[in-house]
Every structure is written in structure tokens, then in C-alpha cells.
Homo-oligomer: A and B are copies of this chain.
């Protein structure tokens, strides 16, 4: 049985304020790797007094707590996703959309890496997504 988001926040020592619940809901129900502005614009409809600062505050808290991940893709702006089972990303070079794809493993024959301690492997595939290929 799936835990409610409220419980999930509590389990991580985060007091479940309305704003925090809404941000987490949005991330979990809309797996589009939104940036701060998208989250703000969407939630602002429900929470008219919401400020961008608060969105930043909440996301920072979530990332520090480890329930949300900041995804680095292009440059300039941070994008966010709830932590799921491990997966990789595909970035479409035409429309810029970021897709979740099954985990791509590496052939880690880490020769030439003596002395380095590897904690994480990030794989990003780039190319053209199906919908951009059809527009041709």
C-alpha cells in the first residue's frame, strides 16, 4: 500500500504544510521535470499568495532531505523530480523535452580510475524524440 505524501514528508522530518504538500503532489503527479517557474505558475492558481521564494525554499528543503532530485540537463535552470527507482534520461535535441527512460547501465571497467571513489553514474542520452521525428 502506497504511503500518502503527508506521511512521506513526516517520515523525513518535514512538517507537512499545505505548500509543501502541493509542491510534492505536483512533482509526483506531473513527471515533466518542471523548473521552478512551472511549479510556481501552476500552484499559484490554487495558492494565490504563493511566492517564488517559497517554491525555492521548499525545493531546497526537499533536495537536502533527499526526497527530490535536482536534474542537471542543459544549463541555466534547475529542474526537479521526485526520487523514483533509478532511471536514466533522454533529452530531445529538437524540442528540449526531457524523458524518463529505463536505466542505462555503464560498462564500468573503471581502468584509469584508480584512486577515484565512484558514488553515482549519470547517463544522459541525447537525440530526437519520436514526436519530433514525425514532424518531418
A residues in contact (CB < 8 Å) with B: 70, 72-78, 90, 93, 99, 101-102, 104-108, 110-113, 115-130, 133
Contact = CB atoms under 8 A, between A and B. Distances in A.
A118 B112 contact: no
13 contacts: A75-B75, A90-B113, A90-B116, A101-B116, A102-B112, A104-B108, A104-B121, A115-B133, A117-B127, A119-B127, A121-B125, A122-B126, A123-B123
Nearest to A108: B104
Please indicate which of the listed interface residues A73, A77, A113, A129 has the most CB atoms of chain B within 10 Å of its own CB. A113
Contacts of A126: 118-122
B130 A125 contact: no
Contacts of A122: 122-126
B107 A130 contact: no
Contacts of A124: 121-124
Contacts of A129: 115-116
A20 to B, nearest CB: 23
Contact of A72 (B73, B99, B110, B116): B73
A130 B72 CA distance: 24
Given A72-B73, A106-B123, A117-B128, 6 more contacts: A72-B74, A90-B118, A99-B116, A116-B129, A117-B127, A122-B126
